[in-house]
Amino acid sequence: MSIRRRTRQREAILAALRDAPGPLSAARIREAAEREAPGLGRATVYRALRALREEGLVSVVELPGEEPLYESSGRGEHHHFRCRTCGRVLDLPGVLFGVPEGTLLPGGHRVEECSLLLGGSCGDCLSGGGRTTGRAG
């Protein structure tokens, strides 16, 4: 594969993650990136995601009951919202509640990270504009 083609695939994957309203599964990334880089294969997407993670450009979001999701790094601290209707996982960038880093908890535990997952119905689904095709891959 030419370097140029590989660069284009990387750019397409990064753009898909940048434009997404929340973290995406590898399948969704492939779907979105394929518009820019037609013929993008599954293995290529995984390989690119691994490389982008090693470079610190992409991070993995592990949520209970979900396959690994990916998001671009540097989105700042944010929590996630999972819609029970359409299955999308969305970023909540402005929602800053949680336990601040460095907080000492009873028992002497120090908080070093805090990630919350909220669930419910997303705005699109509530307003009738959501996708009703079931859980997104």
What residues from 83 to 112 belong to the interface with Zn ion (CB under 5 A)? 83, 85-86
Q: Which is nearer to Zn ion, 19 or 77 (CB)?
A: 19
Minimum CB distance to Zn ion, residue 85 (Å) = 5
- For residue 24, give the 3-state DSSP assignment: strand
114 marked ligand binding residue: no
Separation CA 56–CA 126 (nearest Å):
36
Choices 17-25, 34-42, 77-85, 105-113 (CB under 5 A): range interacting with Zn ion: 77-85
* Cα distance between residue 137 and residue 129, in whole Å: 19
Q: Taking CB under 5 A as the rule, does residue 33 contact Zn ion?
A: no
Q: Which is nearer to Zn ion, 10 or 28 (CB)?
A: 28
Nearer residue to Zn ion within complex by CB, 47 or 84: 84
- Separation of alpha carbons 13 and 26, rounded Å: 10
Give the DSSP letter string of 78-126.
-EEEEETTT--EEEETT---SPPTTPEETTTEE------EEEE--HHHH
Q: Which residues bind Zn ion (CB under 5 A)?
A: 83, 85-86, 122, 125, 130
Cite the annotated binding site for Zn(2+) by residue number: 83, 86, 122, 125
